[in-house]
Amino acid sequence: MPTATAEVAIKIRDVRKSFGHLEILKGIDLDVAPREVVCIIGPSGSGKSTLLKCINLLQPPTTGSIEVNGVVLTDPQVDLNGARTKVGMVFQHFNLFPHMDVLENVTTALTTVKKMSRKEAEVIGNAQLAKLELSHLAHKRPADISGGQQQRVAIARALAMNPEVMLFDEATSALDPELVKGVLDVMKDLAVSGMTMVVVTHEIGFAREVADTLVFMDDGAIAESGPAREVLTNPKTDRLKEFLSQVL
């Protein structure tokens, strides 16, 4: 097997995560290639979100290793804050900063982490908002815009850091049904543009259409994985068959 690191954007090896005596992740191995889109599905409580938060160490794994573009994030010596700027994350509840307007939400990490001047940051921020057709909201507060707009701002906030990898944690689960499509469209465009993405989702249709690889998690382990269409059309395990029969 070739070992060139460029072949793998994200390398997850035997990741386990326990909270007290409760083992949430029971040994996960997963590779994500550059430009690949991986969708993770599975019943709630199966550990999908925990796995995603292990990738940027918001939830540090109990054991195992995480490597993103050659940087071993689980190495205690590594500059974790620097590494996290290259891993964007979008949350189920958006987690926008309510005391800042939309533009400040997008620029605050540019000025604090990347030490840009306010002006430089606003150029990047405004360009990013324009790309997602959010320019007209630049000076609104998160509380004054819709959930779909909030989530797109959250995506713009992550993209403004120019990440190499994007993680989506049930990005549409908290949205009203009519707002889901707008957010999925942005994610689709991002996938087409070649972004490496790991997407935890309940949107099977999105997974079928956009994902290269589908991962089905159950009870803290990967129960089945493979090319998305194949896995969804021809599930091998009974657990995935049962899961699909319930969500489709």
Partner 1 sequence: MDAFFHTFFSWDEMLKAFPVLLTEGISNTLIIAFFASVLGLALGLILTMMLLSGVWFLKLPARIYVDIFRGLPGIVTVSLVGLGLPAAGIRPFGTSPTGYAILAIALISAAYCAEIFRSGIQSVPEGQMQAGRSLGMSHLQTMRKIVIPQGIRNVLPALTNQFIVDIKESSLVYLLGLAVGQRELYFIAHEQQANSYNSSSLVAAGICYLLLTVPLTYFVNWWDRRLRTGPKPKAPSGPNKIPALSTQLTGADS
- Give the interface with partner 1 as residue ranges (CB under 8 A): 53, 56, 58, 81-85, 87-89, 91, 93-99, 108-109, 112-113, 141-143, 147, 150, 154, 157-158, 161, 174
Minimum Å gap between C-beta 150 and partner 1 is 5
> Which lies closer to partner 1 via its Cβ, residue 113 or residue 127?
113
Minimum Å gap between C-beta 145 and partner 1 is 9
Minimum Å gap between C-beta 158 and partner 1 is 7
Distance CA 212, CA 193 (A): 14
> Which lies closer to partner 1 via its Cβ, residue 56 or residue 128?
56
Minimum Å gap between C-beta 245 and partner 1 is 31
> Which lies closer to partner 1 via its Cβ, residue 39 or residue 96?
96
Residues paired with residue 166 on neighbouring β-strands, in sequence order = 88, 197
Minimum Å gap between C-beta 98 and partner 1 is 6
- What order of strands is seen across the sheet that includes strand 221-227? 87-90, 165-169, 196-200, 37-41, 213-218, 221-227
Minimum Å gap between C-beta 36 and partner 1 is 21
> Which lies closer to partner 1 via its Cβ, residue 109 or residue 221?
109
> Which lies closer to partner 1 via its Cβ, residue 58 or residue 221?
58
Single-letter amino acid code for the residue at 104: E
> Which lies closer to partner 1 via its Cβ, residue 15 or residue 240?
15
